[in-house]
Structure formats: structure tokens, C-alpha cells
Copies of this chain bind each other. A is one copy, B any other.
Amino acid sequence: MEEIDRAIVAALTTDGRQSYTDLAEKVGLSVSAVHQRVRRLEQRGVVKGYTARVSFEALDLPLTAFVAIRPFDPSQPDDAPVRLAHLPEIDSCYSVAGEDFYLLLVRVAGPVDLERVLQEIRTSANVTTRTTVVLSTPYEGRPPKISGEPSTRQRSRPAGETAGSTGG
């Protein structure tokens, strides 16, 4: 992807609601050009959507924790993500390498809710849990690398080949 597109994405990650006028000024293009690039980024799925950054403390969810889970019976079908999807306290679910199967990020009001959610996780997905409580969050969800020129970066597919493109 081009450098100017990365700059647009970085700007939209910092402020997803800024006007195309501001965006155009930041990346040094006209409003029309920026508008067209943003539409293309959205169509290509590079920009998947927009969301508000919220204060979880203000939402009465001051306690964050990571919950590593592994199944009681590893031979059973592994559908923990779908079995846990109904729990609104789970912010994110990562399938991970290592001893654990999944790593969950949960946000609750306090220890009492955490205990309840852990019980619900265990019973819903038939798993054991190992919980790491977050004490503070120095930073979270920072904008991705603005990066002008990739130097040491390896590629996952041969150069010149693009996924899903047949020439149109």
C-alpha cells in the first residue's frame, strides 16, 4: 500500500471523525482525491469501520483482566469463541500458540463481577481459566506504524502478486 494511503489510515485512526478538508490538508492532497482514496480504502476493507473510544471507567467497567483458557478435554471440538460470544464482558478473544488455547480480554465493574464472569466462562466453554488482572493501562490501541519505507520487512507472498486480483 502506498505511503499516502498509510498516512490517511493513520490520521483516521487518530481521529476517525475529522473532515475530508482536514484530512486533505494533513496528507497534502485535494479534498476530492482524499475522498476517493478513503472510499477505496473502505471498499478494499482496509478501513473496516469507525468506532468511538470510550472511558471504561466512566462506563462503570474499571476492572480489566486477561483470562487465559484451556479446555478440560482437549479432544472435544474447540468452539470456545462461539460458546463465549454471548458474554458482553468479553472485549476480545485471541486464539494463541503456547500452553493456552485462547486469551480473553474482559472488562467488568469489579471483583464480584469478575468472579461471576469467570464462572460463566468455565461453564459455558468447559474450560479452566488463569486470570491476570490489569492494574493500569499506560496506553491502548495506539495508531499503527505510519511507516514511509519498509526496510527489513518480510513478505507473506511473492512480490507483484495481489490477493483476489485477476486483472480488474
Contacts A/B (CB < 8 Å), 14 sampled: A9-B54, A17-B50, A46-B58, A47-B52, A48-B52, A54-B144, A62-B156, A85-B138, A85-B139, A93-B140, A97-B132, A97-B135, A109-B153, A141-B141
What 0/1 pattern do residues 1 to 40 of A give for CB contact below 8 A with B?
1000010010011111100000000000000000000000
A160 at the interface (CB under 8 A from B): no
Residues of B within 8 A of A58 (CB): 1, 44-46
Q: So how many copies of this chain end up in the complex?
A: 2
Q: How far is the CA of A107 from the CA of B144 in the complex (A)?
A: 8
Q: A51: CB under 8 A from chain B?
A: yes
| Contact residues in B for A76 (Cβ distance below 8 Å) | none
Q: Which residues of A are at the interface with B, using a C-beta cutoff of 8 A?
A: 1, 6, 9, 12-17, 44-56, 58-62, 64, 66, 81-82, 85, 88-98, 100, 102-103, 107, 109-113, 116, 132-142, 144-147, 150, 152-156
Q: Are B52 and A9 in contact (CB under 8 A)?
A: yes
Q: In the bound complex, do residue A48 and residue B56 qualify as a contact, i.e. CB atoms below 8 Å apart?
A: no
Complex Cα distance, B46 from A45, in Å, reads 28
Please measure, in the bound complex, the distance between the C-alpha atom of A125 and the C-alpha atom of B123, giving whole angstroms: 40
Contacts of A55 in B (CB 8 A): 45-48
